Chain A
Amino acid sequence: MIQLENISKVYQTKNIETLALDNINLEIQSGEFLSVMGPSGCGKSTLLNVMGLLDNPTKGQLILDGIAIDGYTDKALAHMRNQKLGFIFQNFHLISSLNVRDNVELPLLYRKISAPERKRRTEEILEQVGLKHRSRHFPSELSGGQCQRVAVARAIVGQPEILLADEPTGNLDSKMGEDIMILLKSLNRDLGTTIVMVTHDRALASETQRIIHLFDGRQVN
């Protein structure tokens, strides 16, 4: 499903060059639920961004669904992000000028789906994450935990084949974190969603099928 071949990522700022990913080789099977662990700054988010087509690797090749993505046009990339991928950002990244419902609906706007159908699906997902009563609220009116759940809802509303979750439980108390974990596991089990989750929580990681450890941009075992 996801294949990384010799992926490296260098961040170039004025004086500093950071090697955030160093020659990563990784193959993730369709339907796999995998967690990525490692100390802060070791490149976990960068890895997820590259897999989620949100950032370019400096070197190496990313193959999604058997197709190398480096030759893709903007349209094809947008289509891929929209149809195949769902992303949960480490710090939510909700659109502050849109209410909860409109934030969650976002991925559906770029699909050919009728308005009533979009509404139905959005409400269904909001129900699932327990935020239906907040659908008219704006992100600034929500707690961190609630924002996290909106971000989760947005990532899964389009039922993507691949879900990339960057510390999805990081801002939640353990009870809510567990709820999100149950949700992710059911997506993986019932819909066969491939999930890559970054986490610091050993207990949560141990519930996944495989754990990858990163250290200074390298994969270690």
Chain B
Amino acid sequence: MKYRHFKQFLEQLGKNKFFTFLNLFGISIPLMIIMLMILQIDLSIHPSGPEENNDQMLFVNATRIKSSSGGYARGKVHLDIIEKYFKHQVPEETMAFSTVSSATRFETNSVMDIPLRYTNSAFWQVFNFHFLEGRSYTRENVKQGDQVIVISRKIRQQVFDNKKAVGKTLQLNGHTCRVIGVVEDVSSLGRNTYAQVWMPYTLRSNPPFNPRGMGSATGDYTLTFKTTEDWDFQDVREHVATVGSKLNNIMGEDREFIFGGPSKAAEIYFRGYRDPESYSGLLSSYLGVAGKILIILLLPALNLVSLNLTRIQEKSHEIAIRKAFGATRQNLVVRVMLENSVLTLIGGIIGLFMAYGVAIAFKSYIFSSYYVETPAQAIVQMNYSVFFVLILVSLTFSVLSGLIPSMRISRLQPAYVLKGGAL
């Protein structure tokens, strides 16, 4: 587009404010929604912080027991299953397990509910926490049931006034816990790591495992396997399957035992709390997301088509005059398409900035009560190809929607259009 044409076009947009407004926001709002949607999924599947390497991990976060009479129980993994079938069978440093809970802390005039996570010691090897002070608890600490905790920066700030916390104690759930480490705050999107306080799982009492008791055969622990060269995805899957069939045998004839997983982080995100069996896989999840995006994209597409049609009617006068003075059909069609593209690009860029603005302003709402420290940074880091693909799709729509009417108009005899004839 020649600079001159560009300037004239911007002037025209400025004059026709209502049209410009409709057209720009018809493009930018749907694009913004899609970008936020993808951002939310992206942050959940690839959280920053301790879980950033989760593409090397597999998770077992569900077990399900079905009885032949139709009853069933579902939950997470029972601690006894972990102790008996996993702890000594898989490479020790590669398997983390933890369960979330909350700790109540009484202060002089308030009660504080603190998100708490009971973990094993390998938890600290599997996930990459950033320690601000001290260290994590060791295998020995866990084995002996030492009352030691790791706390987050936020807790250090709230309880210890941001001063050095290691060595200090904290009353939690009836234990006098000694702080041995302080870590950087963790995003609540990190569903396998998030907490404010972490402590050895041995400080928690568990109901005994009972294969006949339906509910007491499931538990509340999530297992994370970090794969290595010697212990790869296949090995994990085989081991989990073997344990699964062993348990199935223990359950007896009338009971069926099913592990949910091992699954990748993305599978767990999309599956949510649904039964492992009823989940039809990542591909269909991604297709589902793509379908939603297409439906949302339909809005700018229809908007562009209708606005182009009305605009072409308006522009037909101009087109006929240009034709009368020597514009070829190609000149005219290219002109309309360039104008549409500029409009779409401007709309798209506005949409991107709106996504930033909204993500920052409404982070706690958009990310469904999750705590995201730096959504703006997350957007910056978000795959820019998403933005480019969206812009490309919108451009295609806008070019096509301008193409057909402008081709039709430019084919007409100028005299016909100037006398008031149109499409």
Contacts and interface: CB of A to CB of B under 8 A. Distances in A.
Interface stretch (A21-29, A32-40, A71-79, A193-201): A71-79
Nearest to A48: B415
B8 A102 contact: yes
Contacts of B327: 78, 110
A52 B322 CA distance: 14
Contacts of A121: none
B413 A97 contact: no
B321 A106 contact: yes
A106 B413 contact: no
Contacts of B324: 52, 54, 81, 87, 93
Contacts of B163: none
Contact of B415 (A54, A78, A82, A111): A54
Interface in A28-87: 46, 49, 52, 54-56, 74-75, 78-79, 81-83, 87
B418 to A, nearest CB: 6
Contact of B328 (A46, A78, A87, A115): A78
A90 B216 CA distance: 93
A115 B4 CA distance: 10
B326 A95 contact: no
Interface in B16-31: none
Contact of A110 (B4, B12, B326): B326
A75 B410 CA distance: 12
A105 to B, nearest CB: 9
Contacts of A46: 415
B374 interface: no
Interface string A179-208: 000000000000000000000000000000
A102 B317 CA distance: 16
Interface string B347-358: 000000000000
Interface string A115-148: 1000000000000000000000000000000000
A55 B413 contact: yes
Interface string B313-329: 00001101111111111
B206 interface: no
Nearest to A45: B415
B415 A49 contact: yes
A168 interface: no
Contact of B326 (A49, A55, A82): A82
Interface in B379-423: 413-416, 418
A149 interface: no
B15 interface: yes
B326 A78 contact: yes
A53 to B, nearest CB: 8
B53 interface: no
Interface string B285-325: 00000000000000000000000000000000110111111
Contacts of A95: 317-318, 321-322
B331 interface: yes
Nearest to A157: B325
A98 B15 CA distance: 11
Give the interface size bracket for A toward B. 20 to 34
Given A55-B415, A56-B413, A98-B8, A93 B321 contact: yes
Contact of B323 (A49, A78, A83, A115): A78
A82 B326 CA distance: 4
Give the one of B12, B327, B328 with max A CB within 10 A.
B328
Given A54-B413, A97-B12, A79 B326 contact: yes
B329 A74 contact: yes
B159 to A, nearest CB: 66
Interface in A157-177: none
Contacts of A102: 8
Nearest to B318: A95
Contacts of A115: 4
Contact of A74 (B8, B328, B414): B328
A211 B97 CA distance: 102
A55 B326 CA distance: 14
A95 B324 CA distance: 12
Given A95-B318, A110-B331, A82 B325 contact: yes
B15 A97 contact: yes
Contacts of B328: 74-75, 78, 110
A93 B324 CA distance: 10
Contacts of B418: 54, 89, 93
A87 B414 CA distance: 12
A55 B416 contact: yes
A166 to B, nearest CB: 11
Contacts of B12: 97
Contacts of B325: 81-82, 87, 106-107, 110, 154
B420 to A, nearest CB: 11
Nearest to B418: A93
18 contacts: A54-B418, A74-B329, A78-B323, A78-B327, A81-B326, A83-B326, A89-B418, A93-B317, A93-B324, A95-B317, A95-B321, A106-B322, A106-B325, A107-B325, A110-B325, A110-B326, A110-B328, A110-B331
Interface of B: 4, 8, 11-12, 15, 317-318, 320-331, 413-416, 418
A-B complex: 8 closest residue pairs judged by Cβ atoms: A82-B326, A55-B415, A110-B326, A78-B328, A49-B415, A54-B415, A107-B325, A54-B414
Given A87-B324, A93-B321, 18 more contacts: A46-B415, A54-B413, A54-B414, A55-B414, A55-B416, A74-B329, A78-B327, A79-B326, A81-B323, A82-B326, A89-B418, A93-B317, A93-B320, A95-B318, A97-B15, A98-B8, A107-B325, A110-B327
